[in-house]
Amino acid sequence: MTAAPAQRRAWLAVLVLAALALALLTLAPGGRSEAATPSDPEGVTVSATGRSSAPPDVVRLSLAAEAGAAKSGDALAAASTASRRILAALRASGVAAADVQTTGLQVQPRYTGSRVTGYTARQSVGALVRDVARAGGVVDAAAAAGGAAFRVDGLSYGLEDDEAALTSARKAAFALATERARTYAAAAGRSLGAVLEVVEGSPAQPYASAAAASSGGGGAFDAPSLAPGSLDAAVTVTVRFALG
């Protein structure tokens, strides 16, 4: 019975030492501390999309030369000959060599039932026209050079440098986000404070496309009438404001 108090004192000492060790571990660097940290300031987070318009200054043409023959080699030779003529017409129309690129080459069999009756060869060309007003004349010249093998797969308008249009869209998005945040703050009986964070989503590239029906050539014709219209740039931002 006399050993009981001493035993209790020994257990108490063990418990005290364990508690001190746990406290030191918690406060040591790298340990997880539950000490209070400054909380984030009260705020309001809003998202908004801004838009701007600009006239296009470049046209991207997708052209092709297509020919058929009983033998694959003959089909490929005919398509290649027409393609060379189209490339020469593009250069003669003022399209720089660096702005012209062969984008595809195909040779495929033609079937009647399960029997191969011939081959179709196709060589595709992409061209960048830096003068929008001249794009119709460029297509006309390429069609005359390619003859019956000439095809138009499509065209798209764009901006050589889209940063100005995107900047205008960013400003519009931020202004709209600020207006919305101010509305929410007023509804809550608060004032709008400083900007705490701005996050921009992936901007939409300001390109509009117009598909052109594939068509054969066969000689000179009136230059096609093209309507470039305008391009829309869009940027979405998420902004967090402090509340006063």
Sorted by where each starts, the structural domains of the chain and their CATH numbers stand as 43-53+163-203+237-243 (no CATH), 58-158 (3.30.70.2970)
- Coarse DSSP helix, strand, coil percentages of the chain, rounded to the nearest 5 percent: 40, 35, 25
CB 40 within 8 A of CB 240: no
- What is the residue-level pLDDT of the chain in tens, covering all 244 positions? 455 566 655 555 555 445 444 444 434 443 333 333 345 578 999 999 999 999 999 999 999 999 999 999 999 999 999 999 999 999 999 999 999 999 999 999 999 999 999 999 999 999 999 999 999 999 999 999 999 999 999 999 999 888 999 999 999 999 999 999 999 999 999 999 999 999 998 776 665 644 433 444 444 445 667 788 889 899 999 999 999 9
pLDDT at 29: 44
pLDDT at 225: 72
Rounded Cα–Cα distance for residues 22 and 47 (Å): 46
Residues sharing a CB contact under 8 Å with residue 28, sequence separation 6 or more, in sequence order: none
Q: In what helix (H) or strand (E) does residue 150 lie, and over which residues does it extend?
A: strand 150-158
pLDDT at 55: 92
CB 43 within 8 A of CB 94: no
pLDDT at 151: 97
One-letter amino acid of 5 = P
Residues sharing a CB contact under 8 Å with residue 33, sequence separation 6 or more, in sequence order: 26, 27
pLDDT at 85: 98
- Residue among 130, 147, 134 nearest 84 (CA): 147
CB 99 within 8 A of CB 130: yes
Edge-first strand listing for the sheet containing 58-69: 100-112, 115-129, 58-69, 150-158, 208-210
> 187 — phi, psi (to 5°)?
-65, -30
Rounded Cα–Cα distance for residues 105 and 63 (Å): 12
Rounded Cα–Cα distance for residues 145 and 88 (Å): 8
